Structure 1
Amino acid sequence: TVGTGNIAGVATAVFLGGPGALFWMWITALVGMATKYAEAVLAVKYREVDEEGNHVGGPMYYIKNGLGSKWAWLGMAFAIFGAIAGFGIGNTVQSNSIASVMESNFGTPTWVTGLIVMVLVGAVLIGGIRRIGHVAGALVPVMAVSYIVAGLVVLFINAEQIPDAFDLIFTHAFSPVAAEGGFAGAAVWAAIRFGVARGIFSNEAGLGSAPIAHAAAQNKSPVRQGLVAMLGTFIDTIMICSITGLVIITSGVWTSGESGAALTSMAFAQALPGLGNYLVAVSLAIFAFTTIIGWSFYGERCVEYIFGVKSIAPYRVLWILAVPAGAVLHLDFIWLLADTLNAFMAIPNLIALLLL
């Protein structure tokens, strides 16, 4: 779950909704911990074993096995939306963020980054070169820890700005923030809308994607798996997103007019010149790459549920081709598409969570 949402997503929320968006992100995480717990408990309780002997589960399975055949249409709706939504949250947003951070830090054209990422993703998914995936998977914890440490160092450097930052966060969670510098100003609804949207984007609570992964766990106890899932939301949003948000606000660059990953890079570079922005660029590239691979698994499980195992290969081809498209498209359009598709995914899942 640690990925672009923690770096680019938080920056987009602050850029569009002002510092108050961070408060609404926290609220989303607290509610999201409960949803994520419920999702993982149901995923383990109602999972199945497929023909290859793997545990498969997720919303479509807990709807089918928990709510019965009269709700089968809801499970099918989730699988359809999940297969499509992955192209937003799990693919194009990720490649777009890698491309923008590579362009702002290293001057690499977006289409070049898009093609390189496409080749690497293709090598893992179609070429079966799992080694790239394993290397990236091993790098994620290292980069996550490095990112947190660097964030704490920046906050130590900007220590005297922290009380003012909290003042801005709590004030603007409930009152509009005026335009200044490159910041266009934001109403309270914008803080709520972008705080909630980016919070959900970062921790995926309620979307129904995470239970697909939790269903594959070796854990026999649904409750214990639920607690693991809940902790993930806490670390992801309450800890890592807060560090990113506070770095951006204490550095003062949130009024610069930059958005997304470029804004986070700028904030880190201000406190750690010549180092901070490169750390953000490398962390983001690795996080986003593993997210693209991880989400392809979620999408594949959804199409497998609808059409069977034979549909996985063509889905992978489409998935790989979408990567360079995301890299060159406009940032605002990409995020809007992702948010809309996320909502379509969340609705059938949340109905099932309430009923079960």
Structure 2
Amino acid sequence: MEGLFNFLTSVDGMLGGADWFPFVLLGVGLFFTIYLKFPQIRFFKHAWMVVTGKFDHNDDPGDTTHFRALTTALSGTVGTGNISGVAFAIFLGGPAALFWMWATAFLGMTTKFVEVTLSHKYRVKTEDGTMAGGPMYFMDRGLNMKWLAVAFAIATVICSFGTGNLPQSNGIATSIEATFGIDPMIVGGVLAVLLALVILGGIQRIAAFTARVVPLMAVIYLIGALAVIFANIENVVPSFMAVISDAFTGSAAAGGFLGASLAYAFNRGVNRGLFSNEAGQGSAPIAHAAAKTTEPASEGMVSLLEPFIDTIIICTITGLVILSSGVWKEKHENVFDRSDMIFVAGEYSDTVDADKQALYNYLNGVSGSELENYTGAITVVNGTAVTGGYTLINARSVAEDVQFLVGSEDPFSGTLQIKNGKPVKENLMVKGKSLVHSAPLTTIAFTRGWFGDFGQYIVSIGLLLFAFSTAIAWSYYGDRAMTYLLGPRSIMPYRVIYVAGFFWASFSDTTLVWALSAVAIVVMTLPNLFGIVLLSKEMKETMDHYWQRVKESEK
């Protein structure tokens, strides 16, 4: 698993983690925002009118209403990205990361408008009578690039696991284990059965389920979040100020947080913004293709609301909960994931300025960093190291009160071999105090409000509903891609593997799952961005013709 993690991290470094990727993603959004004259502002009110059903016609071709298409797509985007992903972004980049999530969402509103409109325009009716659409269809039928369509469809299948399946299952299981102490394998098994029962019903059952669950889960989560924000109201304005002021400087060290450079916060904020709202990824157009309408641009109008709801509203609320409560810079007792740990040579303290600078350089990849990974032996007596010469970094922070255990309870005694920063012993458990990230960080933050410890249950329930509905929506994205690649007969085998993957991820390494997700997202996004840019002229004509017909109907 460690070898796989290193491989995925290396690939992510060349793709989503590379300096060029955020500029490509934001650049396409900026291009369309200017080229289409800020549709996310001009059409915002009209989009809400379309969602409310003002322009619905029951005899229009399609499988579901505008509202249900929106909730299905939202259920695919509102998931662990809004709970775990925001926490992960702030953990990596500090307050500045939230600003870049906002920027990604604002420009992403236009990107999603474009990709949904074009996908809806080229949708087809399948052998079983249902609608199928998505970027693979405009690549095939609009661009005559079958090879690109096939590449995108394959990436969609992979990403259905990397985005919609594995991180969602893992996020649910880790949160419920932290809150209720239930074995992740049991959680995964029960939810895998429920997942199978829902997705076997196809888009009609999926749309009906998400139309009920999405509003409910938003209300539950909002109540819990506001209880924390108002309990820490004095920290809200300073938190907003930190987000804005740090956006162009990077986030300075604070508490156990060792700081993040501008480049690192920018990259991670954009990356997590994409994971949260999926604008440019090409996933939501698959759900919107099922909407009943003869006007592709009208469904595009609906879709531009998604990044606004998902990131600018929900992610901001989560970010304020984490920042105003202060938990993002505090060290908490936790069990260290092997992938999060690294032993560095030399003894460093996060209370000494010179040491903090050295650690900052190391964690942010600053050239000329003096820190090196530790290789050597550590003597441990009854779970506590009695020799020095190293510093244990866990979750990008200096670990404290470290205990080395064998299994889950027995203190380790003996010589612990460390090679290139990692312990050689495989069945070693390490725990202590460090920063935490993902769902556990949000869970802790929700206990700092009016509901006290009860707040953690709101996170668990919210995460369960958010993530489970995301897994359901992504199963539909994957089976539409399989339909394009191999026909309707491939759907059932895909769903079986999808459910099995959902179960496996519930008890796998959290960091490994996020690494796989980071790679899968970019592999799917790049072909989609390439395709919509090639169809930019057609997109503008489609939008202009639609808006002209709307104005004429209002006369």
**TM-score band w.r.t. shorter chain:** over 0.9
2:109 aligned residue (12, 20, 33): 33
Preserved contact between residue 133 and residue 293 of structure 1 (Cα < 8 Å): no
Deviations 1:315-342 (A, max 9, x none): 1111011012211222222112111111
Separation (CA, whole Å) in 1 of partners of 2:461 and 2:207: 16
Partner residue, 2:187: 113
Amino acid at match of 2:508: L
Deviation of 1:67 after TM superposition, in Å, equals 0.9
1:141 aligned residue (199, 212, 215): 215
Partner residue, 1:55: 131
CA 238–127 in structure 1, closer or farther in 2 if over 3 Å, else same: closer
Preserved contact between residue 103 and residue 110 of structure 1 (Cα < 8 Å): yes
SS at match of 2:129: coil
Matched, 1:318 2:497: yes
Partner residue, 2:443: 265
Preserved contact between residue 137 and residue 290 of structure 1 (Cα < 8 Å): no
Preserved contact between residue 114 and residue 325 of structure 1 (Cα < 8 Å): yes
Partner residue, 1:223: 297
Unaligned runs of 5+ in 1: none
Partner residue, 1:64: 140
Separation (CA, whole Å) in 1 of partners of 2:114 and 2:141: 15
Separation (CA, whole Å) in 1 of partners of 2:228 and 2:295: 40
Partner residue, 2:356: none
Unaligned runs of 5+ in 2: 1-76, 331-434, 536-555
| Residue range with higher mean Cα deviation, 305-314 or 271-280 | 271-280
Deviations 1:238-270 (A, max 9, x none): 011001001100000011212111111111111
Identity %: 47
Deviation of 1:16 after TM superposition, in Å, equals 1.2
Alignment length (residue pairs): 353
Matched, 1:10 2:10: no
Separation (CA, whole Å) in 2 of partners of 1:179 and 1:104: 28
Larger radius of gyration: 2
CA 106–137 in structure 1, closer or farther in 2 if over 3 Å, else same: farther
1:295 aligned residue (468, 474, 484): 474
Matched, 1:355 2:534: yes
Amino acid at match of 1:238: I
1:274 aligned residue (453, 457, 461): 453
Matched, 1:328 2:404: no
Deviation of 1:20 after TM superposition, in Å, equals 0.6
Separation (CA, whole Å) in 1 of partners of 2:313 and 2:223: 12
Amino acid at match of 2:528: N
SS at match of 2:294: coil
Deviation of 1:198 after TM superposition, in Å, equals 1.1
The structure in which a higher percent of residues are helix is 1
1:251 aligned residue (316, 322, 325): 325
Deviations 1:80-101 (A, max 9, x none): 1111111110100000000111
TM-score of the pair, normalised by structure 2: 0.61
2:171 aligned residue (97, 115, 119): 97
TM-score of the pair, normalised by structure 1: 0.94
Preserved contact between residue 96 and residue 265 of structure 2 (Cα < 8 Å): yes
SS at match of 1:270: coil
Preserved contact between residue 35 and residue 206 of structure 1 (Cα < 8 Å): yes
Q: Which of structures 1 and 2 has the larger relative contact order (alpha carbons within 8 angstroms, sep 6+)? A: 1
4+ residue stretches of structure 1 with deviation over 4 A? 130-137
SS at match of 2:165: helix
Deviation of 1:171 after TM superposition, in Å, equals 2.5
Partner residue, 2:313: 239
CA 215–131 in structure 1, closer or farther in 2 if over 3 Å, else same: closer
Separation (CA, whole Å) in 1 of partners of 2:210 and 2:269: 29
